Chains A and B, each alone.
Chain A
Amino acid sequence: MSTLTQTREIVMMNLRSIPQRLGASLVVVIGIAGVVGVIVALLSMSQGLGKTLSSTGRADRVVITRGGSDGELASFLDRASATLIKQDPAIARGKDGLPLASGEIIVITEVPRFGQKTGANVSLRGVEPNGFALRPELKIIDGRKFRPGLREIIVGQAASKQFDGLRSGADLRFRGQTWKIVGIFSTNGDAHESELWTDTETAQSAFGRSGVSSLLVSLSNIDALDSMKARLVENPQLNVDVKTELDFYSGQSANLSLVIGVLAGFVGLIMGIGAIAGALTTMYSAVSARTQEIGTLRALGFGVFPVIASVMSEALILSLAGGIVGALIAYFAFNGYSVSTLGAGFTQVAFQFSVSPGLVFKGLVIAMFIGFIGGIFPAVRAARMPVTAALRGG
């Protein structure tokens, strides 16, 4: 028989005998399923957060904040600066001939999560009427828009799912005043869905603010960005940072994604060591149970390679099964599971776990790696056993 035929026969024979050693084989499957499940779940959390933040914003919209402030919360532009900036020629004009720009104000409010008493920080964003024209992706999915001048609020879809009492028709109390929630909006799952929105001037009067936190403007042409940036930054009357909306928001996710990535790596490493130990135990005992069988095969003329291949294929198939089980568990338990955490602006960002095919593939690669380490040492031991000793039972 050629080495190839030998290998095929011995591998098939070995695999067919797995059901007889089911308990021990399950150790590999379950151990690896645990590792892969946990790693895939953690990474899907980081990926979901990244997806929410990086899908926020477009390249042809520009956020203007006070120079040196690292986010909207710490930024402040007085009314004069805001008016001056809105006159820049690079800004697109709306149907009414006015610049497509929205002076926006950010106030942190506390709303409890479902089932909790302590409040979580949620952004209340004041937008000007053009804030809606600027963002065609915004859709009111329940109720209606707020009316400027009235204490009315609309709530992002993600926020209404994460926090208690954010339903259409409900009341909120801020600074001794009652605000009515009149609608729920969606913005294709981006970070704004974690916010409460109201009219800028209403928010200014309620919270005693004069200026705005930031200015969002739409460019008439993407190429106009650089000239606009130069004009605004060099204007001695102003002190501003100019960034495309895309850059502004994607800069905010880097840190958190890194923390989650490190956590996943660390937990995965320690769990992986445990799983390798489990795979090694199983495969060593599988080899020792088959000592006589392997001896017989070698005496019959089977080569070293087919023996190694048979052990390795068992280890790899079991670990692949474990990897698939783990990834499936992660998928069914967590895909689309929505949570919220503290984002860069010191307020909550709600996002969904997203178990993508790429992550599943990553999980399977980890599974195969553990299986490879767990199989290779027992396989070499099996191959190097002296035939005579093996025939006597080791």
Chain B
Amino acid sequence: MKYFGLIWSGLFRKKLRAFLTLLALWSAFALLGLLQAVNSLFNGGADFLGANRLITQARTSFTQPLPMRLITQIESVPGVKRVSHSQFFGGKYQDSSGFFPQFAVNPQRLFDTYPEWVISDDDKRKFITTKDGAIVGKLLAEKYGWKVGDIIPLNSFIWPKADGSRTWEWKVVGIFDGRNSEWKKRTSLMYLNYGQLDEAVSPRARGLAGVFVISMNDPKDAEKISAAVDAKFENSADETKTQSEQEFQLGFARQLGDIGLIVNLITSAVFLSILFLTGVSMSQSIRERIPELAVLKVLGFRDRTVMLLVLAEAFLLCFLGALTGMLSATLLTKFLPPEFPIATDSRVWITAGICVVLLSLLIGVPPALRALRIKIVDALAGR
């Protein structure tokens, strides 16, 4: 550590070059931070969902609603604690730009299966008893300035009413929040009481539950339970596919295609270019300073110390570039609108840390070896 000043002044020996190299490193790590954040979203961003819930959907596709009558059959499977159901409502509020998800649910069953939502007992009771009631997530309520008692008209592009109209009015009876910071971030949605939907929807859509959410007594039984549920409906018109909630959510993201491949390709293209650039710049900088390194050796620095000094300089360079780049990426993803739920999280920082170590070894070792082998007499003579 006592050599920090020496390393620092070596790095900024030529200010312009150091600045430009840092700028290149900044761009590489800013991209790494942003792109790997996207990647992280597609590879298990739903970690916090926990493993104690299963989702049962129609095997053909989750867009095919399952009939409500399956609920008791699913509940009778050993190990199942409680089952709720959730029907995607597909409502548009005002103009189509303001889209947020709404799900028609049985209120009591929702609270039983999702203890992560925090809501007062009073609001809970009102949601259970109000047939056209709705509860709104805190973030969503803040966005539109909704309060308890407001009436929200939603234009469903999926469910027409029996009279052919598509405008549904929902009364806000409560606002809910998440149990912890992860769940608080997810409160941009709205739950509707299934009662009004089932009563007023056009007759051909009555009695449809959507997908079922199963909460289990013991998460270790997940495989057994999902196999038992799917076996129950095999070869019927309503064949099911049961998977963990996490798997179900990831399935949505994977619909977008092989984002991971594209993102990793771009990241490696960026790093290949940057590796070359910083490598050349670093070795040039050392080459110019060979006489100075020789002077260090004359002063009594050992060969190994000089070599380590050069390595440390490469590391410092990469570290500074990575730090600024990753900070930019982290700030940027923080201020993205909530429609882009990506975050440069700890996982991405760890990736960046590994990249710094690899990069500084790759660009630092060749000039460091060169510094190790300097012959003082030749170097001082400028040979």
Of the candidates A38, A42, A116, A285, the one whose C-beta lies within 8 Å of that of B254 is: A116
Within 8 A of B (CB), among A273-304: 273-275, 277-278, 280-282, 284-285
How far does the alpha carbon of A57 sit from the alpha carbon of B284 in the complex, in Å?
59
Residues from chain A with a CB closer than 8 A to the CB of B59 are: 110, 173-175
Q: Is the CB of A285 within 8 A of B284?
A: yes
Q: Is the CB of B31 within 8 A of A30?
A: no
Q: Is the CB of B235 within 8 A of A176?
A: yes
Residues from chain A with a CB closer than 8 A to the CB of B274 are: 31, 274
A381's nearest neighbour on chain B, judged by CB, is: B16
Q: Is the CB of A118 within 8 A of B31?
A: no
Of the candidates A45, A176, A208, A271, the one whose C-beta lies within 8 Å of that of B31 is: A271
How far does the alpha carbon of A273 sit from the alpha carbon of B96 in the complex, in Å?
37
Within 8 A of A (CB), among B18-47: 20-21, 23-28, 30-31, 34-35
Interface residues on A, range: 35 or more
Number of A-B contacts (CB under 8 A): 149
Of the candidates A69, A208, A274, A342, the one whose C-beta lies within 8 Å of that of B23 is: A274
A102 within 8 A of B: no
A37 within 8 A of B: yes
A24 within 8 A of B: yes
| Nearest CB of chain B from residue A348's CB, rounded to whole Å | 7
Residues from chain A with a CB closer than 8 A to the CB of B61 are: 107-110, 119, 121
Of the candidates B160, B237, B254, B273, the one whose C-beta lies within 8 Å of that of A31 is: B273
How far does the alpha carbon of A111 sit from the alpha carbon of B197 in the complex, in Å?
30
How far does the alpha carbon of A99 sit from the alpha carbon of B64 in the complex, in Å?
32
Q: Is the CB of A118 within 8 A of B251?
A: yes
Residues from chain B with a CB closer than 8 A to the CB of A273 are: 23, 26-27
**A109-B61, A119-B251, A281-B277 in contact; A341/B256 too (CB < 8 A)?**
yes
Q: Is the CB of B238 within 8 A of A175?
A: yes
B162 within 8 A of A: no
Residues from chain A with a CB closer than 8 A to the CB of B31 are: 267, 270-271
Residues from chain B with a CB closer than 8 A to the CB of A235 are: none
Q: Is the CB of B236 within 8 A of A24?
A: no
B280 within 8 A of A: yes
**A27-B277, A68-B166 in contact; A174/B60 too (CB < 8 A)?**
yes
B77 within 8 A of A: no
B285's nearest neighbour on chain A, judged by CB, is: A285
How far does the alpha carbon of A277 sit from the alpha carbon of B17 in the complex, in Å?
9
Residues from chain B with a CB closer than 8 A to the CB of A30 are: 272-273, 276-277
A339 within 8 A of B: yes
Interface string of A97-116 (1 = CB under 8 A from B): 00000000001111001001
Task: Point out which of B16, B31, B62, B273 has the most chain A C-beta atoms below 10 A from its C-beta.
Answer: B273
A305 within 8 A of B: no
| Nearest CB of chain A from residue B177's CB, rounded to whole Å | 30
A24's nearest neighbour on chain B, judged by CB, is: B280
**A24-B284, A74-B158, A118-B254 in contact; A277/B273 too (CB < 8 A)?**
no
Residues from chain A with a CB closer than 8 A to the CB of B25 are: 274
Residues of B within 8 A of A (CB): 16-17, 20-21, 23-28, 30-31, 34-35, 59-64, 90, 96, 157-158, 160, 164, 166, 204, 234-239, 241, 247, 250-251, 254-258, 262, 265-266, 269-270, 272-274, 276-277, 280-281, 284
Given A273-B23, A273-B27, 7 additional A-B pairs, CB 8 A: A24-B284, A31-B277, A119-B251, A176-B237, A271-B270, A275-B24, A277-B23
Instruction: Please list 8 pairs of residues, one from A and one from B, whose beta carbons are closer than 8 Å in the complex, sorted by A's number.
Output: A31-B274, A38-B270, A69-B157, A109-B60, A173-B239, A175-B238, A267-B35, A275-B24
7 nearest A-B pairs in the assembled complex, by CB-CB distance: A274-B27, A34-B273, A277-B23, A341-B257, A108-B61, A277-B24, A118-B251
